[in-house]
Amino acid sequence: MAEKVMRDCGGRAAVSMLNRREWLALTLATGASAMLDRTALLAQRRLLTRAIPSSGEQLPLVGLGSSATFSQVASAEDVTALREVFKTLVDQGAKVFDTAPSYGASEEVAARIVNELGLADKIFWATKVNAARQGGTADAAAARAQIDASFNRIKKAKIDLIQVHNMGDVRTQLPILKELKQQGRVRYIGVTTTFEPQYAGLIATMRNEPLDFVGVDYAIDNREVEATILPLARERRRALLRAIRAHAPVPARRRSAAARLGERVRCRNLGAVLPEVCRRSSGHHCRHPGNEPGEEHGRQHRRRHRHAARRSDAEAHGRVRRSAAFGVIAAVTSPAV
């Protein structure tokens, strides 16, 4: 029992004991108040931003990608969910949207939605160009036509960022982007790749070309870019878009870390996967499905999960700081719609 202080008619203090019901009510009310205060505080916090090295323009660290889940929904008849995603994106202070002509219907549908919602000028529109086929050469006329189609879809006189997609014939397509930037039609230019065999070419391009952005995959089980690409980006003042993809129907060799580990996390024996996931990326929360056979088995895994989750909140901030130190501008991910 806990003590409570009461006042008698003369204003004198009198101490009595709280019963269990009163104590629980007081505890719950205090907890709810603290939670409301925390929620209000979080709502007032601004998203973390990072400056684009070539201009100083600030961009939120979190953006929206469109290569996986977004693309699947964009191909459906009902795209209401994507409208809500864009509304939420802007309402919460984010602005980076990353797309490409090769992402199915993503670019076309997204452009239509943001124009219908009047949000085109509030979005940092990042798209790509790649008229090269299977690592071959690109036809310059085809590349220009692809870029013109992107302009026609978004209906903006100036696109924020266009990058050469997956290092496709950089020698032919990057000069087109440099020309467009000089003309004032494109604000920033860059190159992307999520394929390790292309890293050598990416590094050479970063050293020799005046890029504003570089797009890479930097994930739980793909941290090769830490060796050279991220330090070089910091040295050469190149902004990075870090790709964090959701589940996608693509071959295993093309799957992102989120998809590959996600498939493993959904297995019944989470204990076989959880230690590795939390060790390799402590900034990611691991949710326990609660379907292990045997109560004692489940309790053991829940204890591991709680321990990892407590560490992850603090260490996630460290991961963000390390990424920012390397010049990472935004982590783009497909929405859960």
Q: Averaged over 3-9, what is the pLDDT?
A: 47
pLDDT at 218: 82
CA separation, residue 116 to residues 111, 162, 295 (Å):
9, 22, 52
**At a CB cut-off of 8 Å and minimum separation 6, what does 20 contact?**
1
Q: Which of 139-143, 261-265, 302-306 has the lowest mean pLDDT?
A: 302-306
pLDDT over 90, % of the chain: 48
Residue 46 DSSP class = P
Q: What tens digit of pLDDT does each residue of 90-146 get? A: 999 999 999 999 999 999 999 999 999 999 999 999 999 999 987 799 999 999 999
pLDDT beyond 50 at 247: no
H helical segments located in the chain: 20-44, 69-74, 80-91, 106-116, 140-154, 170-183, 199-208, 229-236, 257-265, 274-280, 295-325
Handedness of CA 285, 326, 197, 125 (dihedral sign): positive
Task: Say if CB 244 and CB 256 are below 8 A apart.
Answer: yes
CATH of domain 49-333: 3.20.20.100
Phi-psi map region of 71: left, alpha, beta (phi>0 left; psi -120 to 50 alpha): alpha
Q: Averaged over 291-309, what is the pLDDT?
A: 38
Q: Which of 20-34, 123-137, 266-280 has the lowest mean pLDDT?
A: 266-280
Residue 215, SS3 per DSSP: strand
Q: Which of 128-137, 181-190, 313-322 has the lowest mean pLDDT?
A: 313-322
Q: What is the pTM of this model?
A: 0.68
Residue type, 313: D
Q: What tens digit of pLDDT does each residue of 194-230 get? A: 899 999 999 999 999 999 999 998 877 778 899 999 9
Q: Averaged over 62-91, what is the pLDDT?
A: 92
